[in-house]
Chain A
Amino acid sequence: MSRFEAMDGNTATAEAMRQINPDVVAAYPITPQTNVVQVFSQFVADGEVDTEFVRVESEHSAMAACIGASTAGGRVMTATSSNGLAFMWEMVYIAASNRSPIVMAVANRALSGPINIHCDHSDSMGARDAGWVQLFGENPQEAYDNAIQAVRIAEHDDVLLPVMSMYDGFITSHGLERVQIEEDEAVRDFIGPFKAHEPLLDVDHPVTYGPLDFYDFFMEHKRQQVEGMKQAHRVIPEVAADFEKRFGRRYGFFEEYRLDGAELALVVLSSTAGTAKSVVDDLRSQGLKVGLLKPRVFRPFPSEELADALRDKAVIGVMDRSDSFGALGGPLFMELAAACKTHDVPAKMVDYVFGLGGRDTTPDQIETVFQDMAAIAETGEVKQLVTYLGVRE
C-alpha cells in the first residue's frame, strides 16, 4: 500500500532516492537543495540504502565522479541548485555526450550575481542546451514522481541520456505538502534493475571512454546524441503511461488546466502554475474564457504537441521565471514562439518575466496578465512583448 505523508520537495526527492537505491551518489550540499543531501546521508548512515555516497569537495567533482561511476557500470544520482549547477557546467555537457544516464534533482535557485538563494529558473534554463532531458515539477508530489520516472527515461536503451528533475527552490523544496509515497518494492519494480552498457569495470573487454574526437567523427556523435533526445520524446510518454497504470497519477509532456474552450492561455512552469490555477478558477467563475498550460518536459521540447494544444487560442501569455539577456524574451517564450510559428499557430503571443530571485508572484499579478491578454485579444495588438512583473522601474 502506498502511504500519504507531509513532505517538502527535498525530503520527497531524498525518499525517492532511498527507494531507487542508487549504486553511487556523488553530491555537494548547496542551498536550497541541502536537505536532499542531509536526509540521504542519514539513509546511508542507517544502512537503509546500498549506496556508496561520495561526499565530494565541489559540484564540479560531483558531476565528474557521477560520470566516472556511471561509466563504471551502475546507477547514479545527484542533486544540486543554482551556482552548484553552474560550477558543474563543463561536466554537465560531458555527462550527456558520454551518454551517462545520471539522474539529477535540481532545486531551482537564481544564479549569482548578485548572490541570492531563492527561486528562479536561470540555473536549469542555462543548462537547456547541455543535452539533458529536463523535467519541471510543480510540487513535492511531482518532484517525487519525476525523480522515479527520470530513472526509467535516462536508462532506456534508446535514450541513454542524463535527466534533470527540477522543482522550485524553497517554495517546493521547503514547502510541506501531502505526498503519496509508493511502496519500496513497487518503485523498484517500476524502475527495474540497472543494465550496464559496456561498463568500464569489465577489464576483460577494455573500452576507451572520452577519446579525442575530431571533425571526422565529432558531428556523427553529436547527431547520435540528438537521436537519443528524439527517442526520449517517444519514451517519456511510454514511461508516464506505465507510471499511471501502476500508481494512478497521470503525466504528459504538459498539464492542461481548463484549457478546453479557453481563448486566453497562460503558460507557466512549476509552482507558479499552482497559483495560476486558482486565478483561472476565479476568472472562469466570472465567465472569462481562460486556461492554463503547465509544461513538464522542457527538453526534448514537445513543439508539435504544444502547438496542437494551443492552436485555437486567441492569445498565449508566457510567464518566464528567468530571462535571456538581449534575446527576444525569456527561454520558455522563445521556445514556444518558435514552436507556434513553425506549426502555424495563429495566436498572438506575449511574455512576462516574473519571480526572479524569489520575488513573490501574487494571484493579483497573474490576474493583470490575463487582463493584458484580454486587451490583446480585443485589439489584436501586442503593445509590449516582454513585461517584467512586479518590478520597480
Chain B
Amino acid sequence: MATALKLKELSKKEDRLTSGHRLCAGCAAPIIVRQILTAIDEPVVVANATGCLEVSTTIYPYTAWNVPWIHTAFETAASTISGVEAMYRSLVRQGKIEDTGIKFVAFGGDGGTYDIGIQALSGMMERGHKALYVCYNNEAYMNTGIQRSGATPLGAWTTTSPVGSVVPGKPRHRKDMTAIAVAHDIPYAAQASPHNWRDLMKKVRKAVAADGATFINVLSDCNRGWRHETDQTLEVTRLAVETCYWPLYEVENGQWKLTYRPKEKLPIEEFLKPQGRFRHLFAEQNKHIIKELQAQVDRKWRELLERCGEEE
C-alpha cells in the first residue's frame, strides 16, 4: 500500500534529503525535492545536474542525500540517469542483481533542462528510459548569480538581461519546455508547483508508475533572483498558478488534463507585483510589456483549455 498523501502519514517517512544543506532560506528547490522523494515509496536513485541543488547539498565531505546520488556535469542529468537506468535493466535482465523496483529520478534546473541539457533530455525521452526527469524551474541561472535562461519570462530583470536606459529586461518570451517534452510522446508529462504539494505528489506517483521516460516541470521560486522576502516562496508560486502564468496540468498518454483551475483568473500584475525582477515594468514607459505578458498568458491559457477540452 502506498503511503496516504496525508501530512500525518508522510511526516513519519525518513527524509531522503536531510537538513543541514546550504541552500538559501526560502529556496523552493529542497521543498520540491522532499515532496517528490517523499511521494515515492520505492527505493530511489537520483541524478543531479550541476546547479544550486547540486552544489549546496554535497559539499565534500558532507552530503544531504540519504539515497544513492550522482552528479557528472551541467548538461548531463538526463544522459547520466540514462546510463544508470540502462545498467539496472541490464543487470536485472541478466539475473546479476535482484529487481527491487528502483525508481530513477533526475533533477535539473531550468539552465540544465531548457538550455544546455535539452539535447540530453530529448535523447532520454526519445529512447524511453524508465526515469522521471524533474526540472526545478527558477527561471534563470541562479547558481551563477541570476543570468537569463530560456525559461526567463519577457521583461524580467536578470544580470544578463539587465534593465538599462534602452533595453528594459529580457526582450523575448520564455520557451514552453513542458510542451516540448509532451511532443516526445512520452507516457506522462506535467507542470506543478510546490504550494500545491498534494497535486505535485500525485503527479510524481503517476510519473514513476509509467512505463517510460516522464517529465515534470516544477516552478521553483528563488527569492534571490526574483527579489522578494524569504517567507513569500509559496505565496508567489501560488500567484503564478492563480494568474495562469503557471497552469497546473498533466498529459497522460496524450490526454491533456487541467489538474487545477483557478476560480477567478487573476491579472498577471498580481504575480509580477511582489517580485523585484519585474519592478521596472510598472514604470509608465514599460507598461506595454505587462500587456504583452498578459496577452501571452491569455493565449497560452486558451490553448491549454482547448487541449484539455475545457470551456473558456
A209 touching B123, Cβ below 8 Å: no
Q: How far is the CA of A65 from the CA of B87 in the complex (A)?
A: 9
- B71 touching A64 by the CB < 8 A rule? no
Contact A203 B102 (CB under 8 A): yes
B84 touches A64 (CB 8 A): no
Checking B60, B65, B78 against A212 with a beta-carbon cut-off of 8 angstroms, the contacting residue is B60
Residue of B nearest to A98 (CB): B72
Name the one of A65, A200, A211 contacting B86, with C-beta atoms under 8 angstroms: A65
Q: A23-B94, A68-B81, A206-B65 are in contact. Are A57 and B119 (CB under 8 A)?
A: yes
Chain A residues with CB under 8 A of B63: 208, 211
Residues of B within 8 Å of A51, CB to CB, are 90
Residue from A23, A61, A202, A212 with most neighbouring chain B CB atoms (10 Å): A61
Cβ A61 vs Cβ B102 within 8 A:
no
Q: How many residues of chain A are within 8 Å of chain B by beta carbon?
A: 43
Which residues of B are found within 8 Å of A61, using beta-carbon distances?
76, 78-79, 82, 119-120, 123
* Chain B, range 274-309, C-beta contacts under 8 Å to A: none
Please encode chain B, from 189 to 227, with 1 for each CB lying within 8 Å of some chain A CB and 0 for all others: 000000000000000000000000000000000000000
* Chain A residues numbered 27-81 whose CB sits less than 8 Å from any CB in chain B: 50-52, 54-58, 60-61, 64-74, 76
A214 within 8 A of B: yes
Report how many A-B pairs have Cβ atoms within 8 Å. Answer: 163
Distance in Å from the Cβ of B81 to the closest Cβ of chain A?
A: 6
B183 sits at the interface (CB 8 A): no
Given contacts A200-B70, A208-B65, contact A50 B119 (CB under 8 A): no
Contact with A along B63-80 (1 / 0, CB 8 A): 101111111110110111
B70 near A210: Cβ-Cβ < 8 Å: yes
Q: Report yes or no: B60 in contact with A217, Cβ–Cβ below 8 A.
A: yes
Does B88 contact A72, Cβ atoms closer than 8 Å? yes
Partner of B83, one of A67, A94, A208, A212: A67
Are A57 and B123 in contact, with the CB atoms below 8 A? yes
CB of A206 within 8 A of CB of B66, answer yes
User: Known contacts A203-B102, A206-B68; is A73 also within 8 Å of B87 by CB?
Assistant: yes
Q: Does B61 touch A at the CB level, under 8 Å? A: yes
B180 near A: Cβ within 8 Å? no
Chain B CB within 8 A of A161 CB? no
Return the chain A residue nearest B48 by Cβ.
A210
Within the complex, the shortest CB–CB distance from A392 to chain B, in Å, comes to: 40
Q: Is B54 an interface residue (CB 8 A)?
A: yes
Look across to chain A and name the residue whose beta carbon is closest to the beta carbon of B66: A206
Digitize A318-335: 1 where CB-to-B-CB distance is under 8 Å, 0 elsewhere.
000000000000000000
Also in contact, A69 and B87, with CB within 8 A (given A91-B72, A203-B102, A210-B70): yes
B5 interface residue (CB < 8 Å to A): no
- Chain B residues near A58: list those with CB within 8 A: 119-120, 123
Q: What 10 A-B pairs are tightest by C-beta distance, nearest first?
A: A68-B83, A65-B83, A57-B123, A211-B58, A72-B87, A69-B83, A61-B79, A64-B79, A210-B71, A52-B90
**Which of B's residues lie within 8 Å of A, judged by CB?**
43-45, 47, 54-55, 58-61, 63, 65-73, 75-76, 78-84, 86-91, 93-94, 96-97, 100, 102, 119-120, 122-123, 126-127
Identify 11 residue pairs between A and B in the complex whose beta-carbon atoms are under 8 Å apart, listed by A's number: A61-B119, A65-B86, A69-B87, A71-B84, A72-B83, A72-B88, A74-B90, A203-B68, A206-B65, A207-B69, A211-B63
